[in-house]
């Protein structure tokens, strides 16, 4: 059975082509045009670049306190195209953060967070938090002096909370000081928990946009 026959078989049962055609032919509000309405798509495209380049980088990165920095140097200076892939990952992450922030600003100024789009706005806020956490955890994985210092400032801040501060530190770090175990947990957060959470939130976000339509108020 050829690929075309498999696609036809699936389409006959799932109506994939019809759904794609309906999505492509859906008319947008007259004012929902121009660069500001592309920001969400730009953020999604940057996320896809992050996934692809992140998988490639994970092939060589060592989430170990004693080996992490040297593995980054290995990727940058010895792995074929490693510097290019790492640069793409870095710049796509910056583009993603900027696009999400500008997208949220556009939505807020347009008033698109109002009824009946409150849940979509909440999903967007969560996606913003996930995106910022992506940026922080990715920066920490370099495990050089600068990223170690930044990690210390950010992750040790909750220790000052009354009662639950030390417990939170042990949950997220394993200790109340920055160690190699901290790096391992940040790596797990960066490559597993955050991508899964981001994917689920984006699916929810896209489904609600599909159902409610694009708000063309700005």
Residue 91 lies in a domain: yes
127 neighbors 201 (Cβ within 8 angstroms): yes
Interval 110-160: pLDDT, tens: 888 888 889 999 999 999 999 999 999 999 999 998 988 888 777 777 777
Which pair of tokens denotes residue 163?
Answer: 């009662």
Residue 21 lies in a domain: no
The residue among 72 and 218 whose pLDDT is bigger is 72
Cα separation, 47 vs 153, in Å, equals: 27
pLDDT on residue 74: 96
Residue 35 lies in a domain: yes
Mean pLDDT of 13-33: 70
pLDDT on residue 165: 72
Which CATH number goes with the domain that contains 59? 1.20.810.10
Worst-scoring range by mean pLDDT, 7-16, 79-88, 196-205? 7-16
pLDDT on residue 26: 67
Residue 77 lies in a domain: yes
Interval 89-114: pLDDT, tens: 999 999 999 999 999 999 999 888 88
- Residue 151: phi and psi, rounded to 5, are -65, -40
Residue 146 lies in a domain: yes
Model confidence band, residue 171 (pLDDT cutoffs 50, 70, 90): low
Interval 28-70: pLDDT, tens: 666 666 778 889 999 999 999 999 999 999 999 999 988 999 9
Interval 183-215: pLDDT, tens: 888 999 999 999 999 999 999 998 888 788 776
Match 């922030």 to its residue by tokens. Answer: 101
Of 7, 215, 13, 10, residue with least CA distance to 114: 215
Residue 86 lies in a domain: yes
The helix/strand/coil state of 34 is coil
Q: For the full predicted model, state whether its pTM sits above 0.75.
A: yes
Instruction: Show the domain range for 149.
Output: 30-212
Residue 216 has pLDDT above 60, yes or no: no
Residue 74 lies in a domain: yes
Residue 2 lies in a domain: no
In the 3-class helix/strand/coil scheme, how is 141-181 assigned residue by residue? Answer: CCCCHHHHHHHHHHHHHHHHCCCCHHHHHHHHHCCCCCCHH
Tell me how many domains the chain contains. 1
Model confidence band, residue 173 (pLDDT cutoffs 50, 70, 90): low
C-alpha angle 158/160/166, rounded to 5°? 70
Cα 29 from chain centroid (whole Å):
28
pLDDT on residue 32: 65
Cα separation, 167 vs 176, in Å, equals: 9
Max Cα distance, the chain (Å): 65
């Amino acid at each position: 059975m050829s690929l075309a026959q498999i696609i036809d078989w699936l389409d006959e049962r799932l109506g994939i082509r019809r759904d794609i055609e309906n999505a492509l032919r859906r008319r947008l509000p007259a004012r929902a045009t121009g660069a500001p309405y592309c920001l969400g798509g730009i953020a999604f495209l940057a996320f896809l670049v992050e996934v692809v380049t992140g998988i490639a980088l994970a092939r060589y990165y060592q989430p170990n306190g004693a080996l992490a920095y040297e593995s980054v140097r290995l990727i940058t200076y010895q792995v074929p195209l490693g510097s290019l892939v790492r640069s793409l990952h870095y710049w796509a992450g910056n583009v993603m953060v900027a696009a999400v922030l500008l997208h949220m600003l556009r939505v807020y100024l347009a008033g698109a967070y109002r009824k009946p789009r409150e849940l979509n706005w909440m999903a967007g806020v969560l996606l913003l938090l996930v995106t910022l956490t992506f940026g922080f955890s990715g920066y920490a994985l370099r495990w050089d002096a600068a990223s170690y210092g930044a990690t210390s400032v950010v992750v040790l801040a909750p220790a000052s909370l009354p009662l639950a501060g030390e417990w939170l530190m042990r949950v997220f770090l394993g200790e109340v000081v920055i160690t190699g175990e901290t790096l391992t947990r940040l790596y797990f957060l960066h490559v597993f928990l955050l991508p899964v959470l981001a994917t689920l939130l984006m699916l929810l976000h896209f489904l609600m946009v599909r159902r409610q339509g694009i708000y063309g108020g700005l």
